């Protein structure tokens, strides 16, 4: 494990509350030999990928403490500490190539997610896939607070997580990947929440209110041919 930047001495409770992202693993359709997990945390999802699919997994994370815990799982081919806002492609992986790159709740935390994805395309094999999860800022609760209360308050978790630097709607999520030369192969809601009336209307209008009820989207993409 390479240690090139300073990290907090106390590991955030966020890492310990994280869980295996089975929803993302289910989207890995190409049986990848090698996976890059960007924001691997304490290694729960990476371990599940190794056990379920048999892929080699390399994990990146900004927290040295989280990586030290992930290392104890003894399942990663390599673990690399990396602040993507400083180094988009760390030296330790610049010569690697991947069949799948995962961004589980990562891109919204970056100063320049557009440049990150563009740069990481150099690591993606021609038939490789990108899988990401991104919060949806167009959710009805966010709109209500902003429009009717003039409130844009950050929270400890969720769509308005205080560590989020970028905010996306479904439309701008798609643009984020297309601008990097990727083609969206799938985008779907991860979870719904909202007022009962809106859910009822949505049910009977072919999901016309989907974007106002979706808290987060799951996205699959590949290089354009």
pTM of the full predicted structure?
A: 0.91
Q: What are the boundaries of each domain within the chain?
A: 13-139+165-194+214-223
Can you identify the CATH homologous superfamily of domain 13-139+165-194+214-223?
Answer: Vaccinia Virus protein VP39 (3.40.50.150)
The 10s digit of each residue's pLDDT in 161-186 is 999 999 999 999 999 999 999 999 99
Low-confidence ranges of the chain (pLDDT < 50): 2-9
3-state SS, one letter per residue, for the chain? CECCCCCCCCCCHHHHHCCCCHHHHCCCCCCCCEEEEECCCCCHHHHHHHHHCCCEEEEEECCHHHHHHHHHCCCCCEEEECCCCCCCCCHHHCCCCEEEEEEECCHHHCCCHHHHHHHHHHHEEEEEEEEEEEEECCCHHHHHHHHHHCCCCCECCCCCECCCCCCECHHHHHHHHHCCCEEEEEEEEEEECCCHHHHHHHHCCCCCCHHHHEEEEEEEEEECC
Q: What is the pLDDT of residue 191?
A: 85
Q: What is the pLDDT of residue 2?
A: 45
């Amino acid at each position: 494990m390479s240690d090139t930047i300073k990290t907090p001495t106390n590991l955030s409770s966020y890492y310990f509350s994280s869980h295996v992202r089975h929803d993302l693993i289910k989207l890995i359709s190409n049986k990848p030999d090698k996976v890059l997990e960007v924001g691997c945390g304490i290694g729960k999802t990476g371990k599940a990928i190794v056990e379920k699919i048999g892929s080699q997994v390399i994990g990146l994370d900004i927290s040295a403490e989280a990586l030290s815990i992930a290392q104890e799982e003894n399942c990663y081919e390599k673990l690399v500490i990396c602040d993507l806002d400083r180094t988009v492609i760390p030296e330790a992986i610049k010569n690697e190539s991947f069949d799948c790159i995962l961004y589980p709740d990562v891109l919204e935390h970056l100063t320049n997610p557009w440049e990150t994805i563009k740069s990481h395309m150099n690591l993606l094999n021609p038939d490789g896939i990108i899988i990401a999860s991104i919060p949806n800022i167009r959710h009805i609760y966010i709109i209500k607070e902003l429009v009717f209360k003039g409130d844009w308050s950050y929270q400890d978790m969720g769509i308005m997580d205080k560590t989020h630097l970028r905010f996306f709607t479904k439309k701008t999520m798609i643009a984020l990947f297309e601008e990097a030369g990727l083609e969206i192969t799938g985008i779907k809601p991860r979870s719904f929440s909202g007022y009962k009336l809106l859910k009822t209307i949505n049910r009977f209008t072919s999901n016309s209110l989907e974007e106002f009820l979706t808290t987060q989207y799951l996205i699959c993409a590949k290089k354009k041919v």
